Amino acid sequence: MNDWAEERCRGVRIALRIPGFPTAGDAVRLEEWLYGCIRSVYADVPRATMRFDDPKGVATLPKGRFPEELERKRVEECAHFLLGDGLGSQMRTMIVHDVRAARLAKKNEDKDEGRLGRFMAEWFLPAALLRRMRPEDVAEESRQEWTVIRKRYAELRGRPAPAPFTVPRWAAAQQYELQVRRGAPMPLLVTPRGGGSPEFQFPVVGSFEDAAFQIRADLCALTPLEFRLKYAYDAIRTGIPVDIPDDELLVWAGMPVKT
């Protein structure tokens, strides 16, 4: 069974089409890809934070940081949202004077940080790449420090290779499926799996294949709620029946009304 945090990261990398080591621009692309799920705010704060404003997230990022530091903060806050963590920190704010509650909050904080660390390691140093590359080549291409690379190799040593990619059990693709209607103004439809009326419709800008692959990749990389948040503007709104009496229709048309 694949690790939850690493599985989420691999799905994101597929959706963003990052086959190798990420560039600094990929952190910006990740932030933009989650538009609709996360709102990013830049402010004069000492550190980055993620606040969950159900169901969306609000990431506060510090101004005036070096590009490398800001890149990492962007990825971290997006990972916080995707992993749905933060329970430990939330519990910490609710504690008054309770030793047992503080101990439980610390335990959850440690779990949160562990998941975040595994996501970040898979983002910057993907296991699949390291398994087929020499450490010196990784050091040259990954932009990561040698000590970090050695630690990552040590973590992977003895671990079985991750299972081939399949649609995760938590993914939106378990609930929705993509359908194609070529020639229509909105040729890409997302419908409930197993049948039902379309819930999302998409135009095609550029390559038809790219657009279809992107929707399919997002269905595999996002949860159902995340997919609905990201594509809220593409959701099909259900109309409300309006009953217009015949005589009012005739008045509107300028025709005589029988009395």
Spell out the residues 6+ positions from residue 49 whose beta carbon is closer than 8 angstroms to its own.
Answer: 59, 60, 77
Indicate the pLDDT class of residue 91, thresholds 50, 70 and 90: very low
Angle made by CA atoms 117, 122, 125, in degrees to the nearest 5: 110
The pLDDT confidence band at residue 93, using thresholds 50, 70 and 90, is very low
Q: Give me the pLDDT at residue 17, please.
A: 94
Give pLDDT, residue 239: 58
Nearest CA to 57 out of 235, 236, 234, 230 is that of 230
How much of the chain exceeds pLDDT 90, in percent? 46
> Does residue 198 carry a pLDDT above 80?
yes
Q: What is the distance between the alpha carbons of residues 68 and 70, in angstroms, rounded to a whole number? A: 6
Residue 63 and residue 102 in contact, taking contact as beta carbons nearer than 8 Å: no
Contact (CB, 8 A) for 59 and 38: yes
Please determine, for residue 89, whether its predicted confidence score (pLDDT) is greater than 50: no
Backbone angles phi, psi at 245, to 5 degrees: -60, 150
pLDDT tens digits for range 144-172: 999 999 999 999 998 888 777 788 899 99
Contacts of 127 (CB under 8 A, 6+ apart): 6, 156, 159, 161, 162
Q: Which residues contact residue 106 at a Cβ distance below 8 angstroms, ignoring those fewer than 6 apart?
A: 88
Q: What percentage of the chain has pLDDT greater than the value 70?
A: 85
Is residue 74 scored above 70 in pLDDT? yes
How many C-alpha atoms does 93 have within 13 Å on its Cβ side? Answer: 5
Domain boundaries, the chain: 4-156, 172-234
**Above 70 in pLDDT, residue 108?**
no
Residue whose C-alpha is closest to residue 49's, from 3, 239, 40: 40
Is pTM beyond 0.85 here?
Answer: no
Name the strands in the sheet holding 38-43, side by side, starting at the edge strand that comes first in the sequence.
38-43, 56-62, 49-53
